[in-house]
Amino acid sequence: MSNTVIVGTQWGDEGKGKIVDMLAEKAGAIVRFQGGNNAGHTLVVDGEQCILHLIPSGILHPGKKCLIGNGVVLDPEVFLKEIDGLAAKGVDVSPERMMISKKAQIIMPYHKQLDNCRESMKSAESKIGTTGRGIGPCYEDKMSRVGIRASDLADPELLRSKIEVGLQEKNVLFEKLFNAEPLDAEKVYQDMLPIAERVKPYLGDVSSVIQDENKNGRSVLFEGAQGVHLDIDHGTYPFVTSSNVVSGNAAAGAGCGPRHLERITGICKAYTTRVGSGPFPTELQDEIGDTLQSNGHEFGATTGRKRRCGWLDMVVLRETARLCDLTDFALTKLDVLSGLKEIKICVSYKYRGETVEYPPQEQNSMAEVTPVYESMPGWDEDITTARNYEDLPEAARNYISRIEELSGVKVAIVSVGPDRAQTIVR
Ligand code: GDP
Ligand code: IMO
Ligand code: MG
């Protein structure tokens, strides 16, 4: 297998975890390159479900190296809870196979408090609906060059002084602006010491592991979180996350050059979902939307919120294809569409009197567009047991062909159920 980047093509929750788990069998290492525990990646193997927020989705394959790259923001408490949970199920999470880049940024308690204070200050229309995990404030500190890096956990004096400096500014905000309790630097530091002790054995040079894997003839799987339309630059700003989600960031966020990225697989749900606020042109606020929500069990894996549902949007996918250089799609949750009489695909938008094939770039313009739909006949058959492309009903194959035509990207993998085995590879 060639080095492969997995990106979410829509607004997250496309089924990245499932596809990474499935492809991990052929890789030497799996590396997360951005985001943090705002992600929730669901794996189902032989009927048993496992939800991961930080640990790469290759962890259920014994012996595969699981790496957390420099581009990730890591909540060390969540990391430890996740490895403890996996260890209790008998999964090997030893530092022999698990590594955190020394350059990854650490999410501190004050980042989470700041995230929640900011959201609660906002009006209903301007709330982003963040996951409240401190993601934005942690990336802010990284860019302000005051962030705590994973390697600082092994340097108590540096850690203490960074916490003190960080809280000088943040406590003013908590007390004067947000009417919240200030945090005591000494307590934050003391609480972090036992956590740091446990995280220390995992710290390492992720970049050189990637290099060695490739040198030894093994491929690397780059696991993206979120979706391209939540990208800090290219998403529906300001209703976005705080990192670059696009495939190009896999190189920067894992620690290799862009020529290492060979195959770029975009994970695409057969319809569209979004959690949190922000424009969503093809959203269905009707019975069909409710059907997709309940048949697809569309609840957020991180926050448990109901996901908003709508038709597939080719404008969104075209933009992802050009921003990410997609080589192929993995089309997921096709089974959820079974039973619909008619399936609609958004092929373009009307925007300020013009027909557009790519999202307009002005802030909030996505809230102004009107989707232009094409309609296709649905199918009634249960497709969850299909394992070959030919097993799919003709209407389902036609839907896939139309997606390929409209995007210019081939569908290489079709997923027909949550289980690892419920997959068709073409
Ligand atoms: P991720 O964040 O992209 O990894 O996706 P999530 O795990 O948050 O959400 C995807 C959900 O859909 C999970 O509950 C998966 O178990 C489930 N899922 C993935 N692929 C399929 C599929 O082909 N069919 C069905 N019915 N469910 C799927
Ligand atoms: P996975 O990897 C879906 C959304 C939040 C919110 C916005 C900003 O499971 O696909 P943040 O906490 O990142 O500052 O929130 O981004 N969001 C996601 N939505 N899937 C995710 O991850 C998400 N991660 C963040 O709901 O709208
Ligand atoms: Mg998810």
**For the structural domain made of 105-201, what CATH number should be given?**
1.10.300.10
pLDDT, averaged across the chain: 97
| Structural fold of domain 4-95+205-425 | Adenylosuccinate Synthetase; Chain A, domain 3 (3.90.170)
How do the domains of the chain map onto residue ranges?
4-95+205-425, 105-201
Q: What is the pLDDT of residue 204?
A: 98
Nearest ligand to the C-alpha atom of residue 11: 2
* pLDDT tens per residue across span 81-97: 999 999 999 999 999 99
Contact criterion met (CB below 8 Å) for 113 and 218: no
Cα–Cα distance for residue pair 264/262, rounded to 1 Å: 7
Active site residue 41: yes
Determine the Cα–Cα distance for residues 394 and 334; give it in Å rounded to an integer. 13
Q: Quick: pLDDT tens for 141-199.
A: 999 999 999 999 999 999 999 999 999 999 999 999 999 999 999 999 999 999 999 99
Q: For residue 371, is pLDDT > 90?
A: yes
In this prediction, residue 369 carries a pLDDT of 98
CA of 53 to the centre of ligand 3 (A): 8
286 assigned to active site:
no
Q: Given the CA of residue 17, which atom of ligand 1 is nearest to it?
A: 4
Model pLDDT for residues 254-268, shown as the tens digit of each residue: 999 999 999 999 999
C-beta contacts of 156-160 below 8 A and 24+ residues apart: 156/193, 156/196, 159/189, 159/192, 159/196, 160/185, 160/189
Given a cut of 90, is residue 302 above it in pLDDT?
A: no
pLDDT at 304: 86
Ligand nearest to the CA of 242: 2
Residue nearest to atom 11 of ligand 2 (CA): 130
Q: Which residues line ligand 2 (CB under 6 A)?
A: 8, 12-13, 38-41, 128-131, 133, 135-136, 225-227, 230, 241-242, 275-276, 301
Percentages helix, strand, coil for the chain (3-state, rounded to 5) are 35, 20, 40
Length of the chain: 426
Which two structure tokens, joined as six digits, stand for 121?
């200050």
In the predicted structure, residue 418 carries a pLDDT above the cut 90: yes
